[in-house]
Amino acid sequence: MKLTTVLRMASTPRVAIVGGGGKTTTMFTLAREYTSPVIVAATAHMAIEQLALANQHFFVNTPGDVIAHLPSGITFFSGSENSTGKTVGLTPETARAVKELADRHGAPFFIEADGSKCLPLKAPAEHEPPIPEFVDVVIYVVGLSGLGQPLDTEHVHRPDRFARLSGLALGDAVTPDSIAKVLSDPIGGLKNMPPSARRIAVLNQADTAELQAQAQLIARQLLPTYHSVAITALKYQQIFAVHEPTAGVILAAGASTRMGQPKPLLLWRGEPFIRHVVRTALNASLSPVVIVAGEHTAEIRAAVSDLRVTVIHNPAWEAGQSTSVKCGLRSLPNTIGSAVFLLADQPHIPIELVKALRDQHAQTLSPIVAPLIDERRGNPVLFDRVTFSDLQSLTGDVGGRAVFAKHPIAYVPWHDASLLLDVDTPEDYRRLLESTQAGADEQENRF
């Protein structure tokens, strides 16, 4: 996978890159994935030797120093060289002048906006990071080689500030929790980020399976503070996973004609179906979770009034399932990376299956992820946001299966045939209750 793809970069992004542990590598990895021309720059100090990573470099000390015509390839802009062998950063005025050049040429613009003295971790000083207000994406890079290392000047830039933000003492081993705390703090990782900018964390240097597992722990804590969290080893051009907020959309607007009563309100294990489905979505860390209801909206809303879920009335529910799919998608924030569609007549879907769909999507960014049960596709199904426009074009009584032919599908093998049961009729309901009782009896006989 390309880094521009997994981070969902636009065609002409305005990106600031901060933190430590691979900022320059991240910037040039992204820049090289675009067709030229591309602009890179620094608002912090840069080592002179790093300028050679670009095709050409220009010193800019005043807005008038910005060239009029942008050459092909990657062009680097910085302030002048200082006595320490580094370039000074662009000022707000010169950075805006370079941005105007990028606008005129329709060029991507990447800015290294932080310094870390080549250490994997850091906490910002009062004057850091110098992020221009016009950027629409901020990427915070973390070097996971700092995990487990002492919180000291050999491993962390400004360890005293890192200690205050993380709750660690100087000399303590750096933990996943401490990194997550620093990145989530308004005066830590979020410092100076423009409010409208998309926030991305890149957990870099995940060179071992152990570090990748620890990165998963950090990623869970960073969502939804960050809109995306990627786990990478960019030195080796490896991307292991990308985590984004995943919504849960529960379709509960059907007429239940064959059942003769509202299916979401049928009892299973002492509670209405809809409460089981909502709890499955919440416990699988789907957020937000919305229910799309129809004729029985009031009753469904009452049944879940104490749960963290939004109930949406679909006024066009009689026109078919496509209207509920579109109603659910319209309710989601534009920061959502994917959505799992669950059915209100399947209260027996396990939390582990929903988590497995999310994990598969994080590792592959597949447009569609579905369970495969006895060689048959099952439910629920996860849809990446790249499919949302197609889902919004559905008409009639069809659901997401109508777009399967347009996108690649990744399958999660699941060995439980009972999950193929949809409760559409009184006979289906009886079978569900009987299978539940049989499972309980079998469990009891084991002890």
Domain match, 238 and 263 both: no
- Flag whether 445 is in a domain: no
406 with 394, same domain: the answer is: yes
Looking at 209, 225, 243, the residue that finishes a domain is 243
Domain co-membership, 383 together with 320? yes
224-233 pLDDT tens trace: 899 999 999 9
pLDDT tens, 57-95? 999 999 999 999 999 999 999 999 888 889 999 999 999
Strand locations in 37-159 (E): 38-42, 46-47, 56-59, 74-78, 86-87, 109-112, 121-122, 137-143, 156-157
Residues in the chain: 447
Residue 314 amino acid letter: N
Residue 442 is predicted with a pLDDT of 43
Q: What is the distance between the alpha carbons of residues 109 and 14, in angstroms, rounded to a whole number?
A: 5
Whether residues 190 and 279 share a domain: the answer is no
167 and 252 belong to one structural domain: no
Q: Report pLDDT digits (tens) over 263-306.
A: 999 999 999 999 999 999 999 999 999 999 999 999 999 999 99
Domain boundary among 243, 274, 304: 243
Q: Residue 441 pLDDT > 70, yes or no?
A: no
Residues 128, 269 within the same domain: no
How does the average pLDDT of the chain come out, rounded? 94
DSSP strand E in 264-356: where? 267-268, 271-272, 289-293, 310-313, 338-343
Read off the pLDDT of each residue in 362-368 and give the average, rounded to a whole number: 96
Indicate whether 33 belongs to any domain: yes
- Give a yes or no: residue 179 inside a domain: yes
Q: Rounded to whole angstroms, how far apart are CA atoms 86 and 118?
A: 13
Whether 164 has a pLDDT exceeding 60, the answer reads yes
Candidate from 43-52, 132-141, 200-209, 218-227 with smallest mean pLDDT: 43-52
DSSP state of 350: -
Any idea what the CATH number is for the domain that residue 314 is in?
3.90.550.10
Provide the pLDDT confidence category of residue 435 given band limits of 50, 70 and 90.
confident
pLDDT value, residue 434: 86
Check whether residue 184 and residue 235 sit in a common domain.
yes
Say what the pTM is.
Answer: 0.91
Instruction: With a cut of 50, say whether residue 178 has pLDDT above it.
Output: yes
In this structure, are 113 and 59 located in the same domain?
Answer: yes
Across residues 43-53, what is the average pLDDT?
Answer: 90
Of 197, 226, 243, the one marking the end of a domain is 243
Q: Cα–Cα distance between 49 and 26 in angstroms, integer? A: 17
Task: With a cut of 70, say whether residue 446 has pLDDT above it.
Answer: no
The per-residue pLDDT for range 392-414, each reduced to its tens digit, is 999 998 989 899 999 999 999 99
In sequence order, which residues have a C-beta less than 8 Å from that of residue 39 and are 6 or more positions away?
A: 70, 74, 75, 77, 98, 101, 102, 107, 108, 109, 110
Instruction: Give the pLDDT of residue 436.
Output: 67
Secondary-structure percent of the chain, ordered helix, strand, coil, rounded to 5: 35, 25, 40
Residue 442 in domain: no
> Residue 327: what pLDDT?
97
The answer on pLDDT for 421 being more than 90 is: no
CA–CA gap between residue 242 and residue 315 (Å, rounded): 36
Is residue 444 assigned to a domain?
Answer: no
Residues 86 and 153 both lie in one domain: yes
When pLDDT is cut at 50, 70 and 90, the band that residue 351 belongs to is very high
Work out the percent of the chain whose per-residue pLDDT is above 90. Answer: 86
Q: What is the domain-level CATH number for residue 62?
A: 3.40.50
Do 177 and 304 have their domain in common? no
Domain that holds residue 130: 3-243
> Is residue 67 in a domain?
yes
Domain membership flag for residue 393: yes
Domains identified in the chain, total number: 2
The answer to the question of residue 413 being in a domain is: yes
Strand partners, 42: 112
- For 213, phi then psi, to 5°, come to -65, -40
For 234-252, the pLDDT digits (tens) are 999 999 999 999 999 999 9
Instruction: Please report the pLDDT score of residue 82 as a whole number.
Output: 85
Task: Say which residues have a Cβ less than 8 Å from residue 394's Cβ, sequence separation at least 6.
Answer: 322, 325, 326, 402, 403
**pLDDT at residue number 437:** 56
Helix (H, G, I), strand (E, B) or coil at 415: coil
Q: What is the pLDDT of residue 445?
A: 41
Domain check: are 94 and 195 in the same one? yes
Tell whether 158 and 302 lie within a shared domain: no
Q: What per-residue confidence (pLDDT) applies to 158?
A: 97
Question: d(Cα 90, Cα 332) in Å, to the nearest integer?
Answer: 38
